[in-house]
Amino acid sequence: MKHACEPRRRAGELASPLGQAAFGYYREWMRLKKFSQPGSNAFVESKYYRAFINFARLVIDANVPKPDRYIALMVEADILPILWCRDQAYALYLGWLDKLSDPLELVKESVSYLMDIADSENVKLYTVFSHLGPQRVLSLIRQRRLTPWLLFCSQAFDKQVLKKLDSSQLIAFNAVVNSGYWGNRFDTEKTTLEQVKMIVRGIGL
């Protein structure tokens, strides 16, 4: 009975906004793989159906701004769809996104976001990381609401979050923030790094 009901359940899921997004991502993946464009029935019957539903949910939950580029990166790296939601795959995408964006703009956006939180949740800016707590901070890092440019220059983040992470949280942090990559980047962009430090010190973080 469960086997017979699965196609019906998938058909209903496909009609939802999440299902339609997943279908679109599946078609984009097929296009990049140079396969013929599939219809909805082929998607529903695909062994990758659930993988693309999960990816569509990741796009929403993590606020992925360029999902088409995420898919292209996965194809270039020859990573199967069933692995796209793993931290290693997501980190590959974040690395591309970090290289693409202007550091000072990223810091400006992160500062603005933290100020909005401090204002709306009635906390002092210099205690905002303690207020957010490790799990919420990690979620915001995954979404890149908080850029590593700001975090690694913030004494408040170091004291209130980084030094308080337990082993599992530290693994999760390192999965989306490659410390080695950022150390090398800071070494090669020292002028930008000093500008970021000035901004962070100026707002008391």
Model confidence pLDDT, tens digit, residues 146-163: 888 999 999 998 888 888
The C-alpha atoms of residue 113 and residue 156 are separated, in whole angstroms, by: 16
pLDDT at 1: 44
In whole angstroms, what separates CA 129 from the centre of its chain? 19
> What helix, strand, coil percent values describe the chain, rounded to 5?
75, 0, 25
Q: At what angle do helices 17-32 and 2-14 cross, to 10 degrees?
A: 90
pLDDT at 102: 86
- Is this model's pTM higher than 0.85 or not? no
Model confidence pLDDT, tens digit, residues 64-120: 878 999 999 999 999 999 999 988 888 888 888 878 788 898 899 899 999 999 999
Contact status, residue 175 vs residue 91, Cβ threshold 8 Å: yes
Work out the angle at residue 117's Cα, subtended by the Cα atoms of residues 174 and 139, and round it to the nearest 5 degrees. Answer: 25
The residues, ordered by sequence, that sit 6+ positions from 186 with a Cβ below 8 Å of its Cβ are 152, 193
pLDDT surpasses 60 at 192: yes
Contact status, residue 108 vs residue 98, Cβ threshold 8 Å: no
Work out the angle at residue 78's Cα, subtended by the Cα atoms of residues 90 and 70, and round it to the nearest 5 degrees. Answer: 35
